[in-house]
Structure 1
Amino acid sequence: MTPAELVSALNWRYATKSFDPNKSLSDDAWQALLDSLVLAPSSFGLQPWKFIVVSDPEIRERLRENSWGQAQVTDADKLVVFTSRTDMTPEDIQRWVNRLAEVQDQAPEDLKGYAGIVEGFCQRMSPEARHNWNIRQTYIALGQFMASAAAIGVDTCPLEGIDPSGYDHELGLAGSGYATCVACAVGYRTEDDKSAARPKARYVQSDVISER
């Protein structure tokens, strides 16, 4: 992808309001988007999230009721619910350190100093602050997911107009250590979605980017 192609894809994307329920992603396109979630960056690499792909039509109907009736929840080919860890415990950190050691062919004991730095950073925050930090990390994954979708010509719509507690109930998240923070509908726009034809309104570069 050239720089011009990237900018073109980002100009092409918008928060799709009307999805064509008869259009589906190819297996390759969907796997690439799943990979974009797995590869999303996070602070210290902790990945304080789980992404729930909701395919059951009945569950999606109930989630729509917890989304102010937004049709994207049921009409889009895919629906991904982004959940964040409600805390970040020493056990969470050790689990990540174990995985890091496995991938990098090290002994977990060799990463003891690193684990101590991460744990010290996390323990300076309250549980509520850690949860909010995890939510902010999860939005990084959402951004990468949406940009990746645009790059391969797939439409998305981030959904914050939802009742997170209602989603948690429908998805059985109570006691799981995870809670809903945002959802994203994925698929292809209908030809008559008026939002697609609206000019993209953004501040000019000099209003939002400065140099020192």
Structure 2
Amino acid sequence: MNIIESLQWRYATKKFDNQKILSQDKIDLISEAFNLTATSYGLQPLQLLIIKDKKIQKELTEHSWNQQQVADASHLLVICIENKIDAKYITKYFESVKSIRNTPSEILKPFEEQLITSFTQKSKEEISIWATKQAYLAMGNLLTVCAIEKIDACPMEGFIPEKYDEILNLKDLGLTSVLVLPIGYRAEDDMFSELKKVRRGVQNMVVNISS
């Protein structure tokens, strides 16, 4: 399928076939795609939890407004943000840039200092909001990759982050859950898979400005 056909094919899966499991190759591809997602400044203030444990998935379903996709999906993806984006975190990023690209320190230092100053002046809430925006970028990227790979998915905001954080011990990892993405294969009797998409139309969504 081409990209438009793939996006037409995808939908927010309401019912997964709990007997069909994604291959490790597919999970590896999802992991790589997540890692390659664009983020502001390239700082990647995110981590991805990949859960394949029916007991945990069932427990989390209770804190996902009982949305059965969480329990029945092949894997449950939880996109998390880093709780601490400070000077140490930013410096570590620039050390990676220097190591991978062999960029001289004198070129990187002004930008590094600028980011450290900027983030030092932000409140914890402001940094959290910024990081959460990066999580949505990652979610969008994963949805497209899943569509191309014929992997069904259901993006979710409808869950209780505090409960997820507690059950998954995210505080100990310095993380906070912000988005949930069950993935797998649709059930044959999911009536929503056959429904036509309802969209406003390109002419109402896109404004062309040209000379």
Shorter-chain TM-score tier = over 0.9
Alpha carbon RMSD of aligned pairs, Å?
1.6
SS in 2 for 1:138: helix
Partner residue of 1:11? 8
Does the CA-based 8 Å contact 1:87-1:128 persist in structure 2?
no
Partner residue of 2:124? 127
Partner residue of 1:82? 79
Matches within 5 A, 1:42-81: 42-81=39-78
Residues 108/61 of structure 1: CA separation in 2 closer, same or farther (3 Å cut):
farther
Matches within 5 A, 1:102-141: 102-106=99-103, 110-141=107-138
For 1:195, give the aligned amino acid. F
- Post-superposition shift, 1:107? 5.4
Answering whether residue 152 of structure 2 is matched by residue 155 of structure 1, we say yes
- Post-superposition shift, 1:110? 4.8
> Which residues of structure 2 form unaligned runs of 5+?
none
Partner residue of 2:88? 91
Partner residue of 2:36? 39
The separation in 1 between residues aligned to 2:118 and 2:6, in whole angstroms, is 38
Give CA-to-partner distance per residue, 1:89-133, whole Å, 9 cap, x none: 111111111122221134556521121122233234222011000
More divergent stretch after superposition (124-133 vs 155-164): 124-133
Partner residue of 1:211? 208
Partner residue of 1:145? 142
The separation in 1 between residues aligned to 2:36 and 2:98, in whole angstroms, is 17
Partner residue of 1:199? 196
The separation in 1 between residues aligned to 2:68 and 2:175, in whole angstroms, is 25
Superposition misfits of 4+ residues, deviation over 3 angstroms: 106-110
Does the CA-based 8 Å contact 1:46-1:96 persist in structure 2?
yes
Identity among equivalent positions (%) equals: 31
Residues 171/108 of structure 1: CA separation in 2 closer, same or farther (3 Å cut):
farther
Give CA-to-partner distance per residue, 1:125-166, whole Å, 9 cap, x none: 222011000000111011111100100111101111100000
Match of 1:164 among 135, 157, 161: 161
More divergent stretch after superposition (102-111 vs 87-96): 102-111
SS in 2 for 1:184: strand
- Post-superposition shift, 1:87? 4.0
More divergent stretch after superposition (39-48 vs 60-69): 60-69
Does the CA-based 8 Å contact 1:25-1:187 persist in structure 2?
yes
The separation in 2 between residues aligned to 1:73 and 1:131, in whole angstroms, is 25
Residues 45/74 of structure 1: CA separation in 2 closer, same or farther (3 Å cut):
same
The separation in 1 between residues aligned to 2:174 and 2:27, in whole angstroms, is 27
Does the CA-based 8 Å contact 1:86-1:134 persist in structure 2?
no
Give CA-to-partner distance per residue, 1:152-187, whole Å, 9 cap, x none: 111101111100000000010125332010110010
